[in-house]
Amino acid sequence: MPEAPQLDLDVPRDAGDLIATTLVLFGRHALLFLSVTLLVVGPVTILVTGVWAGGFADGPDADAAVAPTLTTAALVYLMPVLVTALHVMIVRDLGEGRVPSIGQALRSAAPRFPHAIAAFVIYSLLGIGGAILLVIPGIWVFVAGYFATQAAVMESRGPLHAFRRSSELVDDRWWRTAGTLALGSVLLAAAFVPLGLVIDAVDLGVAYVLLYTLAQVLQMSLTALFGTLMYFSLRGQKERPFGSAQAGAYLPPVSPTPAAPSPADL
């Protein structure tokens, strides 16, 4: 693997640092992040939006309700999970100073896909159950378990243990975590509004599906990267107090201190 600028994943980062690091990291390795995301999102989006919903023929007038409901839901449901798993392994390698290839990222993440899917299923069921009982427990679960997928992939935990690990990371930081997630979601949604308007104005079906797919790839990759960096930041906060190390996108590599010459060398 080629070497990368040192990325300290143990540095606790506030919302501004997380946004800045996400943009810097994505800018440096955009081709890698977009390529692995496209491998997951591309076929599903083209099949669901282009074929089943009639996007190739009708463009922006495609009707998603025409698509097979259960199949569509399953495919769309799995996309963010697999994309997140891939981003976790890529960020892990970048934190160790290596830039993985697309094939290496797939090979390292693929064995952990079942863990990621199972953790996300448990997280979703708990969130739905909490929302049915009362709205507030559902909101609490949504934030507390948000990093279950990352924990399942990075720490090879089972689904329930992954949810508990995510809750442990968020513990005592629920409001800060909720605010950071909300800020990231709002900024990302606002940034994609102009692109959505452009896509909706495209009449040619093939061009519409292509642009829509690329927009989905870009948005999902940035979302997965932001959540992954936030997961590592929360781990760093558990291991050392916030502010004990300066947050930043990249830290310069430390040069070894030269040894003092021995008398024999003089």
pLDDT tens string 73-82? 767 788 999 9
Contact 39, 106 (CB under 8 A): yes
For residue 243, pLDDT over 90 is answered with no
CA distance 103 to 39: 11
Lowest mean pLDDT among 195-209, 210-224, 240-254: 240-254
Lowest mean pLDDT among 20-24, 55-59, 98-102, 231-235: 55-59
Lowest mean pLDDT among 61-75, 167-181, 219-233: 61-75
Tell me the average pLDDT across 45-74: 74
Residue 71: per-residue pLDDT: 65
DSSP string, 96-128: TTB---HHHHHHHHGGGHHHHHHHHHHHHHHHH
Return the higher-pLDDT residue of 49 and 225: 225
Return the higher-pLDDT residue of 253 and 3: 3
Indicate the average pLDDT of the chain. Answer: 84
For residue 61, pLDDT over 80 is answered with no
Dig out the tokens for 234 from the structure. Answer: 């929360």
Please state the domain extents for the chain. 15-245
Q: What would the pLDDT profile of 114-165 be if each residue is shown by its tens digit?
A: 999 999 999 988 888 888 877 777 889 999 999 999 999 999 899 999 999 9
Q: What would the pLDDT profile of 189-201 be if each residue is shown by its tens digit?
A: 999 999 989 988 8
Residue 3 forms beta bridges with which residues? 98
Residue 248: per-residue pLDDT: 44
For residue 42, pLDDT over 50 is answered with yes
CA distance 25 to 17: 12
Dig out the tokens for 148 from the structure. Answer: 């279950």
Element (H, E) at 187: helix 174-200
Return the higher-pLDDT residue of 253 and 25: 25
Handedness of CA 164, 165, 168, 169 (dihedral sign): negative
Residue 239: per-residue pLDDT: 72
Residue 70: per-residue pLDDT: 59
7 pLDDT band (50/70/90 cuts)? confident
> What percent of the chain shows pLDDT beyond 90?
58
CA distance 239 to 184: 24
Q: What would the pLDDT profile of 77-112 be if each residue is shown by its tens digit?
A: 889 999 999 999 999 999 999 999 999 999 999 999
Dig out the tokens for 161 from the structure. Answer: 């243990």
CA distance 12 to 25: 16
What global pTM score does this model have? Answer: 0.84
